[in-house]
């Protein structure tokens, strides 16, 4: 009787392993990464996201429910460049999941896909001073070309974790690149009117967007990331913005929008609040839709 039972169990377990039908459990820190992972993973992956789109990803509260999600993951995809350093290490400690520990195949730093990291500090930067960009600017997903690069990296890693589906992962990443590339060119062309005047931004969020679209960023109100600006800095930037004819002050939904509105008024510029992440504002519920909204809103404000 015991032998029969053992055999039956072995057959059942064997069937599950051979079919490989269970989707890989992918946990992404950010909504942008979650959207990309869903495209690449298709029916071979189930994707969960830790930081909701409307939260500033620098400062997510490390709730126990997030650690539980991480505990079940086969693959963790994170932004890197210290964007999640305030909460991801805490969650990883609580999750006690050896598959997604740093250095394991189930742990993917998506910034490894980048060709260039912007604003890498030339000297030492201390986080004790509050600076939250110690390894350079981490907001690279606001350049859609980087989204394409990250999707390709995800496909490779998913394929390593599930070799029998590697071809499908690679094909989906290639399809995504083919679908995004003409739109990336169209957004770039549509942004022409925005290139006529320099912009000011509230926090140092938009460098990659500006780099891609060829926009001039005159400076940030919050010029040291994560630290409230001094009145002297704001006065100085206001003077430069007025002299340069700045027409738009760009902010993320989680910035101090009262302060941003005051600064914009003093500069004689329009405050333009843009979706800085998928799901951070209505209408930006996918990665392409986010750029659709960003470009349309920048162009509309440039014409005012």
**CA-CA distance, 153 to 172, in Å (whole number)?**
12
Nearer to Zn ion, 225 or 279 (CB): 225
Binders in 30-89 for Zn ion, by CB under 5 A: none
Shortest distance, position 204 Cβ to Zn ion, whole Å? 6
Shortest distance, position 211 Cβ to Zn ion, whole Å? 15
**CA-CA distance, 136 to 83, in Å (whole number)?**
10
Residues 58, 252: contact at Cβ < 8 Å?
no
Shortest distance, position 203 Cβ to Zn ion, whole Å? 6
Would you give the binding string for Zn ion spanning residues 101-140, x where CB under 5 A is met? ----------------------------------------
Nearer to Zn ion, 34 or 225 (CB): 225
Shortest distance, position 253 Cβ to Zn ion, whole Å? 14
Q: Angle at Cα 81 formed by Cα 121 and Cα 174, nearest 5°?
A: 125
| 219: exposed, middle or buried (Cβ count in 10 Å: 0-12, 13-18, 19+) | middle
Radius of gyration from C-alpha coordinates of the chain: 22
Which among 230, 232, 221, 224 is positioned nearest to 264, based on CA atoms?
221
For the chain, where are the E strands, in sequence order?
Answer: 24-28, 45-49, 75-78, 107-109, 199-203, 217-222, 248-251, 270-273
Nearer to Zn ion, 107 or 277 (CB): 277
**CA-CA distance, 256 to 177, in Å (whole number)?**
35
Binding-residue total with Zn ion (CB under 5 A): 1
Nearer to Zn ion, 225 or 229 (CB): 225
Using CB atoms, what's the residue nearest to Zn ion?
Answer: 225
Nearer to Zn ion, 75 or 294 (CB): 294
Shortest distance, position 51 Cβ to Zn ion, whole Å? 13
Binders in 167-226 for Zn ion, by CB under 5 A: 225
Instruction: List residues binding Zn ion (CB under 5 A).
Output: 225
């Amino acid at each position: 009787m015991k032998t029969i039972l053992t055999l039956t169990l072995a057959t059942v377990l064997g069937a599950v392993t051979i079919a490989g039908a269970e989707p890989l459990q992918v946990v992404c820190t950010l909504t942008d990464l979650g959207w990309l992972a869903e495209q690449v993973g298709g029916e071979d992956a189930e994707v969960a996201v830790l930081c909701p789109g409307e939260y500033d990803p620098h400062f997510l509260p490390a709730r126990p429910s997030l650690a539980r999600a991480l505990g079940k993951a086969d693959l963790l995809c994170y932004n890197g460049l210290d964007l999640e350093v305030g909460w991801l290490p805490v969650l990883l400690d609580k999750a006690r999941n050896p598959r997604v520990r740093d250095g394991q195949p189930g742990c993917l730093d998506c910034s490894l896909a980048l060709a260039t990291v912007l604003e890498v500090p030339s000297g030492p930067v201390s986080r004790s001073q509050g600076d939250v960009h110690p390894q350079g600017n981490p907001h690279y997903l606001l350049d859609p070309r980087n989204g394409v690069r990250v999707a390709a990296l995800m496909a490779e890693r998913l394929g390593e974790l599930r070799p029998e589906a590697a071809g499908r992962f690679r094909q989906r990443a290639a399809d995504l690149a083919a679908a995004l590339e003409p739109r990336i060119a169209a957004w770039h062309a549509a942004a022409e009117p925005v290139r006529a005047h320099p912009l000011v931004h509230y926090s140092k969020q938009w460098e990659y967007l500006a780099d891609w679209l060829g926009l001039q960023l005159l400076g940030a109100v919050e010029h040291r990331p994560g630290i409230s600006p001094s009145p002297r800095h704001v006065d100085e930037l206001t003077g430069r913005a007025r002299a340069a004819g700045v027409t738009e002050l760009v902010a993320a939904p989680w910035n101090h929008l009262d302060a941003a509105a005051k600064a914009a008024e003093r500069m004689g510029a329009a405050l333009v609040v843009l979706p800085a992440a998928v799901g951070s504002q209505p209408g930006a519920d996918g990665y392409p839709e986010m750029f659709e909204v960003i470009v349309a809103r920048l162009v509309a404000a440039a014409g005012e």
